[in-house]
């Protein structure tokens, strides 16, 4: 039961044209070949894309996490990608 859990940030448009940075989480479940993208609250990410900050929006974050390594799978992570172990939605408050 192999898993790869990675995260990165992206930006979205907020009120009055401001920018908000959010974290996108990606769970690769290799034993059943399922990949899930979700937000900090644990909800599955909406597949609605807006080109707010080109190169650093939700679509770019998803592409980065779909294959999070620079070369071979399991080697060095791409810039801006890091591993996580417990997502914020599962931590006690």
Can you give the pLDDT at residue 25?
95
Q: Report how far residue 26's alpha carbon sits from residue 29's, in angstroms, rounded to the nearest whole number.
A: 10
Render each residue's pLDDT in the chain as its tens digit; 93 residues: 689 999 999 998 888 889 999 999 999 998 888 899 999 888 998 887 777 778 888 899 999 999 999 999 999 999 999 999 888 888 765
Provide the residue ranges of all domains of the chain, joining segments of one domain with +: 3-90
Cα 40 to chain centroid, rounded: 10
Can you give the pLDDT at residue 33?
82
pTM for this prediction: 0.80
Residue 26's DSSP bridge partners are 6, 37
Can you give the pLDDT at residue 17?
84
Can you give the pLDDT at residue 46?
81
């Amino acid at each position: 039961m192999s898993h790869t859990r990675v995260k990165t940030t992206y930006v979205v448009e907020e009120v009055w044209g401001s920018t908000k940075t959010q974290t996108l989480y990606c769970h690769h479940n290799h034993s059943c070949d399922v990949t899930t993208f979700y937000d900090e609250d644990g909800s599955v990410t909406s597949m609605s894309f807006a080109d707010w900050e080109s190169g650093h929006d939700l679509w770019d974050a998803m592409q980065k996490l779909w294959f999070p390594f620079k070369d071979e799978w399991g080697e060095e992570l791409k810039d801006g990608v890091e591993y996580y172990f417990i997502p914020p939605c599962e931590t006690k408050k």
